[in-house]
Structure 1
Amino acid sequence: MSLFLALLVAAAPPTTPASTLPAGTQALSADHEERWIPFEFTPGNQIRFVMSLEGRPVSAILDTGVSYSVLARRYTEANRLHVRGQAKADVIGGSVPVGWVKTRALAIGGLRREGGGLAVADLPATATGSATAVDLLVGRDLTADYALDIDYVQRRFRFLRSGRVPFTGTSSPLTIAPDRLVYVSSVVLGGAELRPMVVDTGDGSAITLSTAGWATARMPSRATTTTVSFGLAGPVVSEVAIVPQLVVGRTIARNVEVRVEASGGFSDAIGVAGRIGSGFLQNYRVLLDPTAGQMLLSANAGADQPPLRSTSGLLLGVADDRLKVLHVMRGGPAAAAGWRDGDLICRVDGAAITPAYPTSPLARWSAGTPGRSVTLRLCNGTERRLTLAHFY
């Protein structure tokens, strides 16, 4: 679990026919294997990087859970781009209006596309968990013809020709769903195979299942709590538990965080069993090659270590000089102490909150050692003490 929250960015195909969006012409450069793209993690656990659109740098998230790459509406307005068409797309949290814009050229590392277009939708900053929104979600339409080599340890990725295998690992099936137009695979949990599972690098959580998928797995009774995630259409509250083992292809993963969506959630809406997100994938070096039909996973050091668990029961977002309580987890110390969504924290054990908080050692307090007592000063000047504890 993130010390803050997981962000979910996935979208089913818009209701407007795909033929509305011109495809353009894509090609890899001669030196594409050397053209690594450096990235950083957003506070929401996503891959954020810089690419080029019409010769200008733009910020982007690598998102294999998006059918068509999405340009931020605010970017089109700032650059006076003509947005065409009107449609709706199912996204996590509901649905959003979508338009289209023509493009001349874009480039990501060794990949370049001439012509074509991008979907257009609102991309709020909450979609990354930070105060700064991104300009673009890079989705299936740009990536699926190639092998994506994602090196989470070195924080870099690159495009390779399909069929290229740059490292050894365990193989899992991977295809593009013909109706949903996203990357899909399967998992085995509790002896049950669950499919299709969207392989979604834009989802900051580890494994997410529909209610039906969780019921099919028939897991023994496990301690659960609640958590919140944010999609393009708003917040989603789900159950969360830690399972001892989960299998993806030939990869046996241990101590995996699993979220369970409420009935009628996004997985139900698009007819899938759930999602494999970056919270799981980041434990491996990953090769995603749907044209070759495989996902390759090579475990990083500590891949099977228990995931970070909240011991405070507070899921927090950061905005400059304060923390905002986004969710109070059921059964946790914060719930017992009467904390509420929306409470604002300006100091932790006397230390002020700064924009650097997400990557600072101070941020570790909310998943700190059980029994530790933390003094939290709210932004209205009052102080509260919170004793950390295991609760799920």
Structure 2
Amino acid sequence: MRLRFLAIVPLLAAPTLSAHEPAANAAPAGDTSPASRDQGVARLAPDAEARWVPFDLTPGNQIRFTMQIDGRSVTAILDTGVSYTLLAKTSPAVVRAKLKAGGQATAIGGSVALQWMPTRTTTLGGLTRAGGGVSVAELPALATGSASAVDLLVGRDLLAAHALDIDYATHRFRLIPSGRLPFAGETAPLGVSADRRVYESAIRLGTRTLAPMVVDTGDGSAITVTAAGWRRAAPPGLRTTTAIAFGLGGAVVSGLAIAPEIRVGTLVARETEVRIEPENGFSQSIGTAGRIGSGFLQHYRVLLDPLAGRMVFKRTTVADPLPLRSTSGLLMGVESDRLKVLHVMRGGPAEADGWKVGDLICTIDGVKIPRDYPTSPIATWAVRPAGSAVTLGGCDGTSRILTLRNFY
């Protein structure tokens, strides 16, 4: 069982960067605005359908793989919530002499300064783009929901002219010609917005349709909605708590609930995690109703084909699993051989016991924190059944007993 609740450590979600169209106004002299950039020429190979790209899911539910920029291999995350492919400023693929000012982007947590770097060739599976370029910015590990940083976020500019077939069960994806239908399933509308330049659809929550919803493979959460959307659509009586999200612009505290039913086109999903952004949060600031993230998509084989106006969901044996709920109320990050408390969830047992952000844990029931903690069996302690008692050893030699319970 994959513990997506315990990513860095607790990834009920850790949404990553979700930047929209970089702004070109008030740019420095020499700035390369989106409209004036060389877009490059992208072509699919004749055998593109056979060129599957293997990937692994990061602890934050993001699709991580390897591709090439100018002949150099880079690690990348598939991110349909980003308008323009983004290269980490610290990546070895950055050629500093080529960098130009590139305006600003709105991201989770705030605004981010961008640069622009032209490229000769970009290769992803059966797709090769000649010319064009990438945006360049700081891309810390926490912003990508992983314990280690990646080089690249692959965005709409490289992906949207083709159909994207993601087979989460076999950990592989491919780009194929738009219009192809490699499998049958439940469908929902999909397009690319003219202003934000990202993949968008809609959901039905309760009796309300919320739109537009960014379809964001780079967001490790399941469903995220604005505070206003939640007030309009939420079924009555649902208990909520809080969680923390990390984007390129920093950390954001959001609400968290489990919705009994979410509809995406003809697809009906039960018991789905929903994050509720604070007032004037990221989605509201860019004029959307929220996001559909990889934490939701990963339960299906998914075809994203915005040119054909559709996405297709094929149910798998893991579709509609019960979400893992924290019974501890502690959201943590892994720091080598220790855990660091990043957030104490509202109304949980950890809050009642006085846990604070920054507290350190070096042992769980007397067992030291292993280096492979996010995928190790010991990581299940935070979602054990209510009534369980866990002894958490501090790095200062003290210990505290936390009794777990259901609280949302």
TM-score normalised by L of structure 2? 0.94
Aligned to 1:82: 98
TM superposition shift of 1:130:
3.0
Change (3 A) 1:306 1:174: same
Aligned to 1:310: 326
Aligned to 1:105: 121
Structure 2 residue corresponding to 1:150, chosen from 159, 166, 175: 166
Identity %: 56
Give the 5 Å matches for 1:41-80: 41-75=57-91, 79-80=95-96
Distance 2:270 2:246 in 1: 26
SS across alignment from 2:61: coil
Aligned to 2:23: 15
Asked if the contact 1:148–1:288 (Cα under 8 Å) also holds between the matched residues in 2, the reply is yes
**Matched AA of 1:85:** A
**Matched AA of 1:113:** R
TM superposition shift of 1:301:
1.4
Aligned to 2:55: 39
Change (3 A) 1:26 1:190: same
Aligned to 1:123: 139
TM superposition shift of 1:211:
1.0
Aligned to 1:275: 291
Change (3 A) 1:127 1:388: same
**Matched AA of 2:407:** F
TM-score normalised by L of structure 1? 0.97
TM superposition shift of 1:129:
3.1
Q: Which range moved further: 142-151 or 82-91?
A: 82-91
Structure 2 residue corresponding to 1:245, chosen from 258, 261, 277: 261
Q: Which range moved further: 140-149 or 78-87?
A: 78-87
Asked if the contact 1:51–1:59 (Cα under 8 Å) also holds between the matched residues in 2, the reply is yes
1:180 partnered with 2:183: no
**Matched AA of 1:2:** F
1:199 partnered with 2:199: no
1:2 partnered with 2:5: yes
In the alignment of these two chains, the number of paired residues is 392
Deviations 1:353-383 (A, max 9, x none): 1221111111111111211111111112111
Distance 2:136 2:244 in 1: 26
Distance 2:379 2:400 in 1: 17
Asked if the contact 2:166–2:172 (Cα under 8 Å) also holds between the matched residues in 1, the reply is yes
| CA root-mean-square deviation | 1.3
**Matched AA of 2:5:** S
SS across alignment from 2:91: helix
Q: Which range moved further: 1-10 or 360-369?
A: 1-10
Structure 2 residue corresponding to 1:92, chosen from 102, 108, 111: 108
Q: Which runs of 4+ in 1 moved over 4 A?
A: 76-79
Asked if the contact 1:322–1:344 (Cα under 8 Å) also holds between the matched residues in 2, the reply is yes
Gap runs ≥5 in structure 2? 25-32
